[in-house]
Structure 1
Amino acid sequence: MKKQQLVLVSIALTVFVLLYFFGNTIPPKKAVPETGQAQHDDHQSISFDDLLKQAKTRISPEQNERLLKLENSVKRGDVKEQQLHLYHQLARFWYDSVRLFEPYAYYTGEAAKLENSEKSLTFAAHQFLDRMMDARDPALQNWLATNAKVLFEKALALNPANDSSRIGLGACYLFGNISENPMQGILPVREIAEKHPDNLFAQKILALGGKKSGQFDKAIERFKIIVQKDPGNLEALFNLAECYEEKGDNANAVKWYEQVRKLVVVPEAQKEIDKRITELKK
């Protein structure tokens, strides 16, 4: 692996570790079977207008002036092409100049809808999905999942055989607070995992679903499949350790935290892992 790649991997691992140890990493236990009852959190609705209004309070007067010019730039003529170009410009504005994810993702998604290609739709959908999996606010989760769902559905209309899009859509139902029946998400993903056990994306979604519902044995089984195929998968290793910790199996929790410790090179992260291991050994 090239030196630049090693640096990027190291940074990614460090960010992951810090998110786990300084964030709320273990969701509240819910006695909900992987195959059964509804998991629908009450939440307030949120709209893009709300998010955009809030985002605009974080930009400078100069940025606001530039944004107004962009928003008013569509004129008569080939409106679709102009709108597509505008969405790309707005996405770049929020990503490059302001570094805010929600408006960037929204305009990327709107551009993808106009392009209506599987590549653009799935790219935009996974942007929303990845952020949804890390979000903690139920209203934001719902907004992210709703946008991802629409994009995945449009992509599947173009290519119904795309397993990644089917899994992504299932994850929206499982984790996005968009349905009172999570079975809508579980069944298609399980079908793919049973047909293609090596599909680690499917295994990951089912494992996280088991962890969320408090079915740690099922989650552990699936996370181990991932680790067997991908021994350096830091997310799976962390989740294995946490599942064992939640079960009260401290010996196995320590075992897997020690595996994580081997992959982390940043001193601050190492200290947090060592602290967790020490506490579990008491």
Structure 2
Amino acid sequence: MTKQQSILVGSGIAAILALFIFGQTVPPKKPNVAMAAAANNQQAPATVNFTDLLAKAKQKLTPEQNERITRLENSVTRGDVKEQQLHIYHQLARFWRDSAKVLEPYIFYNAEAAKLENSEKNLTFAAHQFLDNLMVEGDPAMQTWLATNAKVLFEQALKLNPANDSSIIGLGACYILGNISNNPMQGILPIKQIADKNPKNLYAQLILGLGGKKSGQYDKAIERFTVIVTEKPNDLEGLLNLAECYDGKGDKANAVKWYTEVKKRIPNEEAQKELTNRIKQLTQ
């Protein structure tokens, strides 16, 4: 099996498990798309903009829902008072979350409200909504859209509290995972400084591990994920990433070992089936 094939198989399992592990509000896209692109050094992804995402989301609405949304959107453009705009953004976010159940407009409008509120708590919450979805998103263009929005929010939050390690790590993750910079060290160095200072900062270890995994530096990634599972033996995210890194580098024995550890801890039947199939493939 080639490295590219191994990446595709392992990331297919990640797609199945992502909903269970990350608790997404909508099913995630398959990570293997992004991993294959990275493995084959494809060109920069096409641009995604919110106007197109919103238009696509509206196609799923009833005429009555579309009419309601249009009224709210028009109210935003007419509202010249901050409190009025803030109220409408909250209404739009709630609609897309509760009534339409579409992720992208929900997190976008929630972010617009957070920018107006300019509260560190709300800014970082909104930023992590983009970042959490970035970590399981497979389409490179969507990765860039998510990372770009998260970056703006983290930067605004860091103006309020420059010493917040979590926001520094989050901002670095945007550069490492979001295709928004040709210089990944721009994101890696600040996170590495935090990890060097405090090796038990598992968030820093996770992002550095994901960066190594994305770039195919599996040995470095394995070091990071090993720190995580040593500190938290039941951490499904760390266990799965560790298994996939061993899978990616062609170490079948360790891949089977860690896929088996994931299988022991996850009750989802579909995920169990995918893990069983992958373990059989590796042991044949």
TM-score normalised by length of structure 2: 0.85
Q: C-alpha distance in 2, partners of 1:77/1:89? A: 14
Q: CA deviation at 1:178?
A: 1.0
* RMSD of aligned Cα (Å): 2.5
**Structure 2: where are the runs of 5+ without partners?**
1-18
- What aligned pairs does 1:1-282 form with structure 2 within 5 A after superposition? 12-13=20-21, 24=32, 27-28=35-36, 41-73=43-75, 79-282=81-284
- Contact in 2 for aligned 1:128/1:148 (Cα 8 Å): yes
Q: CA deviation at 1:99?
A: 0.8
Q: C-alpha distance in 2, partners of 1:151/1:191? A: 22
Q: C-alpha distance in 1, partners of 2:88/2:152? A: 21
Q: 1:223 to 1:264 in 2, by over 3 A?
A: same
Q: C-alpha distance in 1, partners of 2:49/2:181? A: 17
- Aligned pairs, how many? 263
Of 243-252 and 23-32, deviating more is 23-32
Q: Given residue 125 of structure 1, which amino acid in structure 2 is its aligned partner?
A: A
Q: 1:74 to 1:178 in 2, by over 3 A?
A: closer
Q: 1:218 to 1:141 in 2, by over 3 A?
A: same
TM-score normalised by length of structure 1: 0.86
Q: Given residue 124 of structure 1, which amino acid in structure 2 is its aligned partner?
A: A
Q: CA deviation at 1:140?
A: 1.3
Give percent identity, aligned residues only: 63
1:114-163 deviation digits (Å, cap 9, x = unpaired): 00010010000000111112112222111111110000000000000000
- Contact in 2 for aligned 1:41/1:177 (Cα 8 Å): no
- Bigger radius of gyration among the two: 1
- Contact in 1 for aligned 2:34/2:139 (Cα 8 Å): no
**Structure 1: where are the runs of 5+ without partners?**
1-10, 33-38
Q: 1:52 to 1:268 in 2, by over 3 A?
A: closer
Q: C-alpha distance in 2, partners of 1:42/1:204? A: 25
Runs of 4+ in 1 over 4 A off after TM superposition: 13-16, 29-32, 74-78
Q: CA deviation at 1:41?
A: 4.7
Q: Given residue 144 of structure 1, which amino acid in structure 2 is its aligned partner?
A: L
Q: Which residue of 2 aligns with 1:4?
A: none
Of 219-228 and 268-277, deviating more is 268-277
Q: C-alpha distance in 2, partners of 1:13/1:64? A: 33
Q: C-alpha distance in 2, partners of 1:14/1:197? A: 23
Q: C-alpha distance in 2, partners of 1:190/1:43? A: 27
Q: Given residue 190 of structure 1, which amino acid in structure 2 is its aligned partner?
A: K
- Contact in 1 for aligned 2:256/2:279 (Cα 8 Å): yes
- Contact in 1 for aligned 2:236/2:262 (Cα 8 Å): yes
Q: C-alpha distance in 1, partners of 2:64/2:280? A: 52
